[in-house]
Amino acid sequence: MLARFLKDEGVEYIYGYPGGAALHIYDALFRQDDVKHILVRHEQAATHMADGYARASGKPGVVLVTSGPGATNAVTGIATAYMDSIPMVVLCGQVASHLIGEDAFQETDIVGVTRPIVKHSFSIRHPSDIPTVLKKAFYIASSGRPGPVVVDIPKDMTAPTERYEYVYPRKVKLRSYNPVSRGHTGQIRKAVELIMSARRPVIFAGGGVITGRASEALTALAHRLNLPVITSLMGLGAFPQNDPQSLGWPGMHGSYESNMAMHNSDLVLGVGVRFDDRVTNNVTRFCPDARIVHIDVDPSSISKTVQADVPIVGAADNVLNEMLNQIGQRTEAQEPLDEWWETINAWRDERRGKLYEPAAAGEPLKPQQVVEAVHRVTHGDAYVVTDVGQHQMFAAQYYKFNQPNRWISSSGLGTMGFGLPAAMGIKLNYPDEHVVLFTGEGSFQMMMQELSTCKQFGIPVKIVNLNNASLGMVRQWQDLNYKSRHAHSYMESLPDFEKLIEAYGFKAITVRTAEELEPALEEAFRSRDELVFLDIHVDPREHVYPMQVPQGAMCDMLLSKTERT
């Protein structure tokens, strides 16, 4: 019943790992060919694979794990998806109903464990409920503000001896769940009023624009009114970065011009963003002159951290199109923005060419230049996946995204180990595309067992290991806040990555100098169906800049080791 439902729901791949409580389900999967199961090497990887696929496709990723340790291993991946509002359905085996509550072998109350990190969860109580419960799970996971849904399935619910009539439920009805789509027309009118009369407006677009497939509407609105566009990290690609109106992303390590522009703006049009603390810095000093218009499908996101002057609950696409509509009918002119653009361009000029110093001959490579080089060889249209740390920030700063769904990174939870499996989930579903993972030797070692999965299923991702032989981001904080006392932030006894990768039967190239970089990249990216691991040794002393000063306003930044705003 479960396997048939997955097929009818259009699920092509599920990611998982078997165990006692899930064996009936595995047997059902074995006896069909429509839904393909990818066997990972750790359940956390299954959730990240599903997550990567969901971020790239907008569709829910599906995970299957067994009870107890199988389910608890999935917890980090569920939390990762929850923090970034990623649609996911996690099917967990459970001990048989009559054993629940008895501390039976491999029993964990996974619904209880995951309660604060799921959008919703279900326990199957009768086998005949499976299709409707699963339909609800998929619907809840992927509608409104998406998120992970856990379905707990006691073993006796999937017993093959019992037979029930199966009908695929085309529709679901939930009396207490009706995500809004259309925004309030009056509120939208107020918002348009504010935008048209603003002298220093900015758009601040987030992941909601990507999940809500509203990039086109956003771009149209930005062009129509000549507005500067800042996207959050989650929103990278929601507005093309090669557009002159793009200012990049703001926040702790955001671009100088975006932090300056947002801080000095008189109107922030937030679309599908949650104004999180990594963006706002000290909220009490956030955008002192700005009125805030905030569009979000989730009412609880609005005025959570930053008070909105004009809240609009609705789907981004719908609301933005309604704005365009209303603007089209207006006769009054918009405030001219020439002066504002002059100011912004002056900020841009201030930092142009000063972002980092490329390595001189004989010096270790700078991670930034590696990202720029990868951007060049992939023509800026790869799927770019990252782990967490300095390399993640460098990838976000120096790879430029012109399309949505191409930047794949754990933003809210910042999960080291996310990268490799997420990249695999994407490559599997988009085999003709380049999928590049930027990782660090720290993060990579958290999920490197998945190379074995790559081998089994032939998943040729490109891995760029920005190897600084240290937990770089931690080290940076220790340099800045702890007088360079590097407590456990460096990695002694790193493996010989070349040998390690070769042990799995893949190609590895070690790069130490600028001269070696270009040829190695050429070789690595020549084909799309070979896994290549680039172990690129980069300068361990490099810091990520700009960096906002703790407790300051958005515009308070360190710009390099010696400069400060």
Partner 1 sequence: MRHIISMLLENEPGALSRVIGLFSQRNFNIETLNVAPTDDPTLSRLTVTTNGDERIIEQITKHLNRLIDVVKLVDLTEGAHIERELMLVKVKAQGSARDEVKRTADIFRAQIVDVTPSVYTVQITGDANKMDAFLQAVTPLGVLEVARTGVSGIARGDKVLSI
Catalytic one of 7, 12, 36, 106: 106
Residue whose beta carbon is closest to Mg ion: 440
Rounded Cα–Cα distance for residues 420 and 272 (Å): 27
Catalytic one of 30, 105, 307, 563: 105
Rounded Cα–Cα distance for residues 133 and 126 (Å): 10
**Catalytic annotation present for 36:** no
**Catalytic annotation present for 393:** no
**Catalytic annotation present for 557:** no
Residue with tokens 């600084």: 468
Q: Which does 244 bind (CB under 5 to 8 A by kind): Mg ion, partner 1, ligand TPP, none?
A: none
**Catalytic annotation present for 155:** yes
CB 21 within 8 A of CB 66: yes
Task: List own/partner pairs for 372-376 with CB under 8 A and 24 or more apart.
Answer: 372/398, 373/517, 373/518, 373/521, 374/399, 374/436, 374/438, 374/464, 374/521, 375/399, 375/400
Rounded Cα–Cα distance for residues 178 and 174 (Å): 7
Residues 466-525 that bind ligand TPP (CB under 6 A): 466, 468, 470-474
Q: Which does 121 bind (CB under 5 to 8 A by kind): partner 1, ligand TPP, Mg ion, none?
A: partner 1
Sheet architecture: strand order including 229-231 = 229-231, 201-205, 267-271, 291-296, 310-313
End-to-end CA distance of the chain, in Å?
A: 62
Rounded Cα–Cα distance for residues 26 and 3 (Å): 9
Give the Cα-Cα-Cα angle 360, 523, 442 (nearest 5 degrees).
Answer: 65
Q: Does 176 bind partner 1 (CB under 8 A)?
A: yes
- Return phi, psi of residue 462, to 5°: -105, 130
Residue 399 structure tokens: 């790879």
**Beta carbon of residue 468, minimum distance to ligand TPP (angstroms, whole number):** 5
Q: Which does 174 bind (CB under 5 to 8 A by kind): partner 1, Mg ion, ligand TPP, none?
A: partner 1
User: What would the x/- binding string for partner 1 be over residues 132 to 161, using CB under 8 A?
Assistant: --------x---------------------
Q: Does 47 bind ligand TPP (CB under 6 A)?
A: no
Rounded Cα–Cα distance for residues 15 and 48 (Å): 9
**Catalytic annotation present for 473:** yes
Tell which one of 4, 7, 36, 120 touches partner 1 (CB under 8 A): 120
Which residue, 450, 310, 308, 464, is CA-closest to 386? 464
Residues 295-334 that bind partner 1 (CB under 8 A): 298-300, 302-304, 307
Q: Which stretch binds Mg ion (CB under 5 A): 256-264, 378-386, 418-426, 470-478?
A: 470-478
CB 421 within 8 A of CB 447: yes
Sheet architecture: strand order including 383-386 = 407-408, 383-386, 435-439, 462-467, 532-537, 507-511
* Cα dihedral across residues 281, 207, 205, 239: positive or negative: positive
Nearest to partner 1 of 132, 343 (CB atom): 132
CB 549 within 8 A of CB 558: yes
Q: Which stretch binds Mg ion (CB under 5 A): 231-239, 319-327, 468-476, 495-503?
A: 468-476
Q: Does 211 bind Mg ion (CB under 5 A)?
A: no
Nearest to partner 1 of 137, 238 (CB atom): 137
Tell which one of 73, 264, 386, 415 touches ligand TPP (CB under 6 A): 415
**Beta carbon of residue 405, minimum distance to ligand TPP (angstroms, whole number):** 23
Q: Which stretch binds Mg ion (CB under 5 A): 64-72, 136-144, 371-379, 461-469?
A: 461-469
**Beta carbon of residue 121, minimum distance to partner 1 (angstroms, whole number):** 7
Catalytic one of 5, 9, 43, 234: 43
Which residue, 22, 40, 29, is CA-closest to 151? 22
Q: Does 77 bind ligand TPP (CB under 6 A)?
A: no
**Beta carbon of residue 348, minimum distance to Mg ion (angstroms, whole number):** 30
Nearest to Mg ion of 411, 468 (CB atom): 468
Q: Does 507 bind partner 1 (CB under 8 A)?
A: no
Which residue, 296, 337, 332, 330, is CA-closest to 314? 296
The residues binding partner 1 (CB under 8 A) are 111-112, 115-116, 119-121, 123, 140, 174-177, 298-300, 302-304, 307
Where along the sequence are the contacts to ligand TPP (CB under 6 A)?
A: 387-391, 414-417, 440-443, 466, 468, 470-474
User: Which of the residues are catalytic?
Assistant: 43, 105-106, 155, 473
